[in-house]
């Protein structure tokens, strides 16, 4: 049937012919939904306005009515108190949002005791700086040969044999100088002047 045939059939019915009530099933449901929306939307909006951020009110109202009209169960079953049912839906939505927000906040939480969040401890940094200063002073106070042997081993990464060959002393002599340097450094670390 093309457009002209459809237009002709409407004319044949005429404006005085009414549609029988059994053909109204979809219209009465939509009219019922519109009536429920018109009757309960202002009260639901007031209820949500006191409990949710302003920018979320429209979405929450829409979601409440969507859940009301798409609920499971027989389509012919009507709700005796749609206003109370809508408030229950709204309350459940707010609870769900609060749980989601809490879970999101908990997942994003960082303890300030953790090093990556808190940053370096200023007290520990001062102590480390002070310990380094004392160690540098202890190394500077070593005898020149002991200091040289210690620096060759620790900073030039030379073995005891290589140091012994470079300095013209025995390996036992290198061990003694390294031991003397370590004793001075250990003493400097424990002394807090």
**How big is the chain by its Cα radius of gyration, in Å?**
43
Instruction: Read off the tokens for 139.
Output: 């190394």
> Where does residue 14 fall: left (phi above 0), alpha (psi -120 to 50 degrees), or beta otherwise?
left
Closest to 44 in 3D by CA, of 75, 81, 4, 84: 84
The dihedral over CA atoms of 71, 75, 80, 83, expressed in degrees to the nearest 10, equals 40
Rounded CA separation 161/174 (Å): 8
| pLDDT at residue 124, rounded to an integer | 84
pLDDT in tens, 39-53: 999 999 999 999 999
What is the number of other CB atoms lying within 10 angstroms of the CB of residue 148? 15
pLDDT of res. 165: 93
pLDDT per residue as tens digits for the range 56-109: 999 999 999 999 988 887 655 678 889 999 999 999 999 999 999 888 888 776
Tally of CB atoms within 10 A around 126: 10
pLDDT digits 0-9 by tens, 105-140 = 887 766 665 555 556 678 888 888 998 999 999 999
């Amino acid at each position: 049937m093309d457009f002209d045939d459809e237009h002709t059939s409407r004319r044949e019915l005429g404006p005085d012919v009414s549609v029988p009530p059994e053909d109204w099933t979809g219209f009465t449901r939509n009219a019922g939904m519109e009536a429920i929306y018109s009757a309960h939307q202002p009260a639901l909006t007031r209820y949500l306005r006191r409990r949710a951020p302003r920018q979320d009110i429209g979405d929450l109202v829409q979601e409440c009515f969507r859940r009301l009209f798409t609920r499971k169960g027989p389509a012919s079953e009507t709700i005796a108190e749609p206003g109370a049912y809508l408030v229950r839906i709204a309350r459940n939505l707010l609870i769900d949002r609060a749980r989601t927000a809490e879970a999101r906040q908990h997942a994003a939480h960082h303890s300030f005791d953790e090093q990556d969040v808190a940053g370096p401890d200023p007290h520990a940094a001062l102590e480390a700086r002070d310990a380094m200063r004392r160690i540098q002073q202890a190394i500077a106070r070593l005898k020149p040969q002991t200091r040289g042997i210690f620096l060759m081993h620790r900073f030039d990464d030379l073995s005891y044999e290589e140091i012994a060959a470079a300095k013209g002393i025995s390996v036992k002599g290198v061990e003694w100088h390294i031991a003397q340097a370590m004793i001075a450094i250990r003493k400097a670390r424990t002394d807090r002047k």
